[in-house]
Amino acid sequence: MENENDLILSIAAHFQTEGVISQVKRFGSGHINDTFRLDTEKVGDPSYLLQRINRFIFPEPQHLMDNMDLVCGHLQTKFAHLGKEQVQRRTLTIIPTKHSKLYHEDAQGDSWRMLLLIENTHSVDLVRSPAQAYAGGAAFGAFQRQLADLEAKKLHVLLPRFHDVDYRLENLRNALITHPMGRTVEPEVQKLLQAMEIRETDMRRDFIERIVTVSPLRIIHNDTKFNNLLLDQDDRPQCVIDLDTVMPGYVAFDFGDAIRTIINSGQEDDPALENITLNIPLFEAYTNGYLQEAGSFLTEPEMDSLLYGVYLLPYMQILRFLTDYIEYDPYYKTEYPSHNLVRAQAQFKLLTELEAHRTRLQYILHQFAAS
């Protein structure tokens, strides 16, 4: 294949698209899949999104796509009363291949899926306003509610123990054994390893006692990073995206991961640690939006579990970035050699800020839970 453009066009030809594709662009800032935007020649014809599924992370694309199809189909029934146009804005639409399959496997063994591009939307890496944060809370809360009546056993558990702190600690330990030299001897790595160890007992206890044993298992998103939500031009929520991780889990995971990306005034991988401070009004707005939608179905122990998720998810993210760094970056896309270390350091700064403001966050959560 001459270049990436030609490759994408040749892959796109396997799908049931309308119109002639005239433009291909790399798209989005996700860490996992490769995403391309495809525009068609004629005004009025739809645009599409073509994604190469990360095969290191998802070795069973059929199971992945079966899950996605099930979830999208379920959500479509929830929005059906709004009409087809709104259904296609509120949930992802999978474009099948010309053989009516949910994905296409190319000669290199890569799997590709196509989605309808939802027009006039954007995703946000760095949340700027309480209105955006509120929209996010409402959208992810509604998402959990809409999936409450989907039978969990119909979903394949593609990533077992995804948010299990013991699993993340085991992975880090294995990485240290398998890669004993090189990156593991760097002082920055040692410093983070110590910081993780100091917190380990508390995090494991909170995971078990404050989340797992007291909360019902529900279907959750599992990757509620803010840029997995599409907003319209007026910052109204349109569609929850990136459904690869939808699996059974606990609401505190979704809450904690969303807060991790919203409350941070800096970027997830900000090398300037002084940028990483807490934007507490955004925390308030997200919590408000979330509880407006989810407050009606959450149990009291689940309400109490949310705060623990706020600490556990950044902690696990540090373990994950650090593990990937030590293993020479097989998992997350990186832009430079120390990128995963910088991400881990930035998330650690965030964790220390969260720790310093714990009483305030707890107070805000209690206030919203009581209202």
CA R_g for the chain = 21
Closest approach of ligand GN1 to the CB of residue 108, in Å: 21
Contact 17/36 with Cβ under 8 angstroms?
no
Residue corresponding to tokens 């309480």? 130
Beta-bridge mates of residue 249: 218
Q: Which residue lies nearer to Mg ion by CB, 142 or 243?
A: 243
Write out the residues near ligand ADP by the rule CB under 6 A.
27-28, 30-33, 35, 49, 92, 115, 117-118, 121, 123, 227-228, 230, 241-242
Helices and strands (H, E) in the chain, number of each type: 11, 10
Measured between alpha carbons, how far is 78 from 94 in angstroms, rounded to an integer? 17
Question: How many residues bind ligand GN1, per CB under 6 A?
Answer: 12
Q: Which residue is nearest to ligand ADP (CB)?
A: 30
Query: Segment contacting Mg ion (CB under 5 A): 68-76, 157-165, 223-231, 247-255?
Result: 223-231
CB-count burial class (<10 Å; 0-12, 13-18, 19+) for 116: middle
In the list 34, 254, 268, 327, the residue contacting ligand GN1 (rule: CB under 6 A) is: 268
Selection from ligand GN1, Mg ion, ligand ADP, none that 35 binds (CB < 5 to 8 A by kind) is ligand ADP
Q: Of 129, 132, 141, whose CA–CA distance to 291 is shortest? A: 141
Q: Is residue 244 near ligand GN1 by the rule CB under 6 A?
A: yes
Q: Is residue 30 near Mg ion by the rule CB under 5 A?
A: yes
Query: Segment contacting ligand GN1 (CB under 6 A): 28-36, 82-90, 98-106, 134-142?
Result: 28-36
Closest approach of Mg ion to the CB of residue 86, in Å: 23
Backbone angles phi, psi at 91, to 5 degrees: -145, 160
Beta-carbon contacts of residue 361 (< 8 Å; ≥ 6 apart) = 280, 283, 307, 310, 354
Q: What is the DSSP letter of 218?
A: E
Q: Is residue 171 near ligand GN1 by the rule CB under 6 A?
A: no
Q: Is residue 242 near ligand GN1 by the rule CB under 6 A?
A: yes
Query: Segment contacting Mg ion (CB under 5 A): 24-32, 160-168, 186-194, 289-297?
Result: 24-32
Cα distances from 357 to residues 12, 249, 362, in angstroms, run 49, 27, 9
Closest approach of ligand ADP to the CB of residue 240, in Å: 10
Cβ neighbour number for residue 333 with a 10 Å cutoff: 14
Q: Which residue lies nearer to ligand ADP by CB, 242 or 304?
A: 242
Measured between alpha carbons, how far is 55 from 9 in angstroms, rounded to an integer? 21
Binding mask 38-67 for ligand GN1 (x = CB under 6 A): -------------------x----------
Q: Which residue lies nearer to ligand GN1 by CB, 89 or 225?
A: 225
